[in-house]
Structure 1
């Protein structure tokens, strides 16, 4: 089968699957280029309330498929950074579900997600030093924000792989579970995300990611949304809230 990005939407959760098992789900140039428009379509779908990114089989993503990226390294890196930025800008909660190797471009994509759940035994690495690549400034800043400067330097300087215990300790991942429990936990957690207020999530995502120019926008959105009234009513009536504000509205 040709390397591809698979996707579906079930119960308000979009799942994007990196599918290139012959090369441990390494991203080809075409796959990097296909990710931003796919994310645009899913972001515009009012039926999507959260997004999961994962890999086919037992591997998340082993990085870039170097055989498809010959020629200008700047062009190849540009495709990867554009995909990373599109993922980081996705307006709804994103969760990387990681099994096996999460290396190079795979770690770049995982870091661009809001949260990361991993199978115990997964391995993580940021490997530009093995190829003589200057890691993009935006990607470096995102990694530093995620794991701190010392851990980011360890990963970038050495290119060494770290296990899930160290990844959890540094903040590279948020939860680590046995494989038998990971699928169930992801289903439970994404159901929680899908049930919560998108208004709260979208505003919190921008604020947490450092936006400082949108306070007035979110105040106005909250004023006309009815989200707080619904949340309070649901609490007092002891029922599940029915939040209706969407990022596409």
Structure 2
């Protein structure tokens, strides 16, 4: 290859790398609200190995930040996500990459602060578990969900099955996993998968309002309540420990500020944890 050809090849590689970088999930943080956005819209925001790595690194970093009060997960384009990349699923990297995807969803579930997923469109496969790992899911009217393991001839990882059974119950989980049928937004709302449904035009405003409302609450209270509620749901709760944390909170700085603000008829100003 001559010098000109080498330069063209190098330029093409740089363009491909820049394009790939633009497709990766991005983070924006403002006033304690963090937003991770999926940007692979041309591929319906499928999760490729680089997306899993980037997303996981972002979530792990946010979880250590005391100034973060809420996490939102959103996506560009007409779909939320088509799920795990099928090319990777059919490669020799399938086991390793799906294990990383499961770990990524676990990281979201374990975030100490409240998490919200905004479903701007259809959601499939593994992406349904990512959304389910969040505390709240707000979807657009008409969005569809489909779980495809039985269609693909595979089974599913433990933590994803656990999340489904814990949140939706065994009967609804069997319906989604065993039939592989598409389910509409109204049904998703009725079965408890979606927290609420709104129009596409209203989604962004509703997400910002919901996140803003949570960001105004006591971070210490939110984190403590989330931990206690999750432990009760999993059957690992220690009543003595939960009661001790409750009684301790009665004399906390946040309790003093909250009661004072209530008496003064003003919004409270809670400090970061």
TM-score range, shorter chain: over 0.9
**Does 1:10 pair with 2:30?**
yes
1:30 aligns to 2:55 (yes or no): no
Matched, 1:133 2:133: no
Aligned to 1:185: 206
Residue 165 of structure 2 corresponds to which residue in structure 1? 144
CA contact (8 A) 1:23 1:65 kept: no
Shift, 1:45, TM fit: 2.7
Unaligned residue ranges in structure 1 (runs of 5+): none
Q: Does 1:114 align with 2:124?
A: no
Please state how far the C-alpha of 1:185 moved relative to its aligned partner: 1.2
Cα root mean square deviation, aligned? 1.8
Partner of 1:57: 77
Secondary structure at 1:97 match in 2:
strand
Shift of 1:223: 6.2
When residues 239 and 53 of structure 1 are mapped into structure 2, their CA distance, relative to the original with a 3 A threshold, is same
Describe the SS at the equivalent of 1:209.
Answer: helix
- Residues 218-238 of structure 1 show CA distances to partners (whole Å, capped at 9, x for unaligned) of 358636741111110000011
- How high is the TM-score relative to the length of structure 1? 0.92
8 A Cα contact 1:143 1:152, kept in partner: yes
Runs of 4+ in 1 over 4 A off after TM superposition: none
Q: Distance in 2 between matches of 1:80 and 1:220?
A: 39
Any idea what SS the aligned residue of 2:25 has? Answer: strand
> Greater CA deviation, 58-67 or 39-48?
39-48
Q: Match for residue 15 of structure 2?
A: none
Unaligned runs of at least 5 residues, structure 2: 1-18
Match of 1:212 among 237, 244, 257: 237
Structure of higher CA gyration radius:
2
Q: Corresponding residue for 2:4? A: none
- Aligned equivalent of 1:234: 261
Candidates 82, 90, 94, aligned match of 2:111: 90
SS of corresponding position for 2:65: coil
Residue 215 of structure 1 and its aligned partner are, at CA, apart by 2.7
2:176 to 139, 143, 155: 155
Residue matched to 2:94: 73
Contact 1:227/1:245 (8 A) holds in 2? no
Report the 3-state secondary structure (helix = DSSP H, G, I; strand = E; otherwise coil) of the residue aligned with 1:184. helix
Would you say the 8 A contact 1:84–1:108 is kept in 2? yes
How many residue pairs end up in the alignment?
246
